[in-house]
Each structure stands twice: as structure tokens, then as C-alpha cells.
Amino acid sequence: MRQARLTAPKTIEWHDMPSPQPGPGELLVRVRAALTCGTDLKTYRRGHPKLQFGPFGHEASGDVVAVGRDVKGFKPGDAVMWVQTAPCMQCDACVSGSENLCERIFDEIALGAYADYIVLPRAIVRRNVFRKPVGLSYIEAAFLEPLSCVVHGWNVLRRANAQRPLPPNVAIIGAGTIGMLHLLYAKHAGVRATMIARSAQRIELAQALGAHETIDARELEKAAVWPRFAAVIECAGMFETWRQALALTRPGGRTLFFSGLPSGSEVPLDATRIHYEEIACLGAFHFTPDDVRETRDLLVAGRIAVRPLVSAVVALANLSDVFERLDRRQGYKYALIPEPGAAEWV
Ligand SMILES: [Zn+2]
Ligand SMILES: [Zn+2]
């Protein structure tokens, strides 16, 4: 089998190796489709504080080819979708119900989705692998992980206002894949969404995906008076956009800081507004098994139409070329197909 490894920034190497055997509790899966992700691009460009160089890629779906001892509920031939982590269910965070903050969440991570085969570790098989129905394509099923992050963000928003869990309107800053997934979720939830973006191409896609309104970020910066929203989701990952997110939130509203900033970053925020206007400043990270199940149901029911976010379907052999394109900010998400021959939608 082939497995892509990231060995240094911007260096992808192919390894030919015998396909592994699944250990107790594990599954060996033949990858049918894998997706690129913003985290992969970040790691490709400069490494990642929590992820080591090595087997590359984490968003995928495929077919079970071998089942380890003690595995229940799966058999060879099952089409499956999964996320790359699972909580330990034993640490303080897990016991208190914040499994997304599990202290060991990255201990047994399933990396190496850019490959012909991947082994899914026991903890993931137990909680975060699901059978994929025939009606859902492999490419759409591979959205389980990024969409789970977005669903978690919305559950954080919901919990911040018990009287009115869903805000009547939301502004989304940043029109990358994650911003677009937030837009699709807002649409599904019946929340009017305003997309704030910089490129004309991304504004166009946001409109096509059903944004109630779009705002050019450069126009906004020049405007004397800013609109305000019941909720603002920041997913552009810049100091300035963190500050803008709060400025765009109306009194009594919710600001969700969805994107991260480099570790150690400190952002000055308007304390008067947060206090006197009761603005809920919220963070969101990763997802819990409940979020993942909710996301699986949304994808299976066709409630979140992710297909327009796939920029191209490409043969896995062209992985390096795809990352060079992403590095030049070309496209959103690419679907990589290991099956030799012409790459097509699966
Ligand atoms: Zn991802
Ligand atoms: Zn834990």
C-alpha cells in the first residue's frame, strides 16, 4: 500500500509498505475518499504544535477490509465514516461531560488518511466510527469531522442562551470551508446568516449557498457605523477579526471565537461592552461523541449539502500538487481518491 507522509514543512513523501493487520479492537479500512482540511494545510506550511510530522491526512471514509479481535458491530465489506479522535472517558474533562477537552484526545489519533489503507484504533472504533448508508457518497461522508467541529460550535452557542437557544441572525467572519459550513448549518437551522468575506469569489459562493446577505470585509472596515448581530462566529483566525467579532455583536448577544490564534496571543477586547451589554464571549474546540452522532444524522438525512464545497476530485497520486494549490489559496477542499484510474465522485 501507499501512504503519504509529511516529513518536513512542504515535503510530502510516499511510503510503500505492506498493509497492516488490525490489532485487538481495531479496524483495517480501505480508504475510498479523503479530504484536505485547513489543519492539514497549517501543518503542511509550518508544522503543528499538537501533531507530529508523519502519516498525513485525517478526513476520510472507506470500506472495512479486516476486523481485529473483539470488534463488535462491524464486518469486512461495511462502508464506514469516522472522526480521527475519541475521548478516553476517564479523565476529569471526560467525566464532567466535556469530552472535547479530553486530556488524552490526541493520544490515539488516526492519521494517515492519504493512503490506500488506514488502521482505526480501538477507542475510535468503539465510539466514533459509523456505518455509511449507500445513499451518502464517500466524499460527503468524509465531511463528518469538519462538520462535527461546526456542530459543536453551534451547541456551544445554544447552551449560552437557555431562553432562546438559536439566535435570530448570525454574522460569520471568514469564508473558508469552516465559515461556509457554518453558513450551511445556519441555513438548516433557520437562522439568517450574513457572510463577511474578502474575495469576490468567496462572496459569490456564499450567495449561492444561501447567505441572507454578504458584506465585503474591506467595505466594512471603512464604514462609520457597523451593523450588529445577535450572534457572531469568528472563523478568519486574525487578531483584527477577533476584535471585529465583538464589535459586531449586539447587546445581549453571543460572540463565538471559533478559530484559533497562535499560542500566547492576547487580544484586547472592549471590557465595557462585555460587562454593560452582557455579551457572551465563547470559545469552541473540537467535538464530543454526541456532536459527532448529531453530525452523522445531519449528513445521512441530507440536511447539510456539502457538495459545493468540494473544489475538485483528484487522484491521490496528485496529493503534492493539491497542497501546492491550497498553499496558493486556490480552492476550498479537495477530494482525493486512492482508487487507480480516473478520479471521479464516489
Ligand atoms: Zn479536519
Ligand atoms: Zn478524557
pLDDT digits (tens, 9 = 90+) for 136-151: 999 999 999 999 999 9
Q: Is the pLDDT of residue 49 over 80?
A: no
79 HSE (CA, 13 A, CB side): 14
- Weakest-pLDDT range from 28-32, 44-48, 126-130, 187-191: 44-48
Cell readout for 222 is 471603512
Centre of ligand 2 to C-alpha 53, Å, is 24
Same domain, 55 and 187: no
Centre of ligand 2 to C-alpha 101, Å, is 7
Centre of ligand 2 to C-alpha 100, Å, is 8
Q: Is the pLDDT of residue 225 over 90?
A: yes
Domain presence at residue 342: no
pLDDT over 90 for what percent of the chain?
Answer: 94
Q: Is the pLDDT of residue 48 over 90?
A: no
Centre of ligand 1 to C-alpha 190, Å, is 25
For residues 160 and 163, what is the distance between their CA atoms, to the nearest angstrom? 9
For residues 189 and 304, what is the distance between their CA atoms, to the nearest angstrom? 10
91-144 pLDDT, tens per residue?
A: 999 999 999 999 999 988 999 999 999 999 999 999 999 999 999 999 999 999
Centre of ligand 2 to C-alpha 290, Å, is 14
Average pLDDT for 85-90: 96
Question: What was the pLDDT predicted at 191?
Answer: 98
Centre of ligand 2 to C-alpha 293, Å, is 18
Domain presence at residue 259: yes
pLDDT over 70 for what percent of the chain?
Answer: 100
Q: Is the pLDDT of residue 234 over 80?
A: yes
Instruction: Read off the pLDDT band of 184 (50, 70, 90).
Output: very high
Centre of ligand 2 to C-alpha 132, Å, is 27
Average pLDDT, the chain: 96
Same domain, 71 and 203: no
Question: What was the pLDDT predicted at 52?
Answer: 82
| Nearest listed ligand to the Cα of residue 86 | 2
Same domain, 169 and 154: yes
| Nearest listed ligand to the Cα of residue 89 | 2
**Dihedral sign computed on CA atoms, order 236, 239, 240, 244:** positive
Domain presence at residue 75: yes
Centre of ligand 2 to C-alpha 148, Å, is 18
The continuous run of DSSP H or E covering 14 comes out as strand 11-16
Question: What was the pLDDT predicted at 241?
Answer: 97
Q: Is the pLDDT of residue 342 over 90?
A: no
Centre of ligand 1 to C-alpha 276, Å, is 37
Q: Per this entry, what is the length of the chain?
A: 346
- Weakest-pLDDT range from 4-8, 26-30, 44-48, 301-305: 44-48
For residues 173 and 170, what is the distance between their CA atoms, to the nearest angstrom? 10
Question: What was the pLDDT predicted at 288?
Answer: 98
Average pLDDT for 251-256: 98
Same domain, 94 and 205: no
Average pLDDT for 216-236: 96
Domain presence at residue 50: yes
Q: Domain total for the chain?
A: 2
Question: What was the pLDDT predicted at 15?
Answer: 97
Centre of ligand 2 to C-alpha 97, Å, is 9
Q: Is the pLDDT of residue 294 over 90?
A: yes
Same domain, 66 and 166: no
* CATH number, residue 26: 3.90.180.10
Centre of ligand 1 to C-alpha 40, Å, is 7
Centre of ligand 2 to C-alpha 103, Å, is 5
Centre of ligand 2 to C-alpha 30, Å, is 28
Centre of ligand 1 to C-alpha 271, Å, is 33
* CATH number, residue 170: 3.40.50.720
Centre of ligand 2 to C-alpha 344, Å, is 39
Q: Which domain holds residue 238?
A: 149-283
Q: Is the pLDDT of residue 235 over 80?
A: yes
Phi, psi of 28 (to 5 degrees): -100, 125
Domain presence at residue 343: no
Question: What was the pLDDT predicted at 212?
Answer: 98
Centre of ligand 2 to C-alpha 4, Å, is 29
Domain presence at residue 298: no
Cell readout for 192 is 439568517
Centre of ligand 2 to C-alpha 93, Å, is 6
Domain presence at residue 326: yes
Same domain, 127 and 153: no
Domain presence at residue 222: yes
Average pLDDT for 149-165: 97
Centre of ligand 1 to C-alpha 258, Å, is 14
* Residue (of 334, 306, 341, 340) closest to 319 by Cα position: 334
Say which residue the cell 501546492 belongs to. 324
Apex CA 230: angle with CA 294 and CA 210, to 5°? 60
* Residue (of 278, 272, 169, 276) closest to 228 by Cα position: 169
Say which residue the cell 469568528 belongs to. 234
Instruction: Read off the pLDDT band of 51 (50, 70, 90).
Output: confident
| Nearest listed ligand to the Cα of residue 145 | 1
H helices within the chain, ranges in order? 38-46, 92-95, 122-127, 138-141, 144-159, 177-189, 200-208, 217-222, 239-247, 271-276, 289-300, 319-327
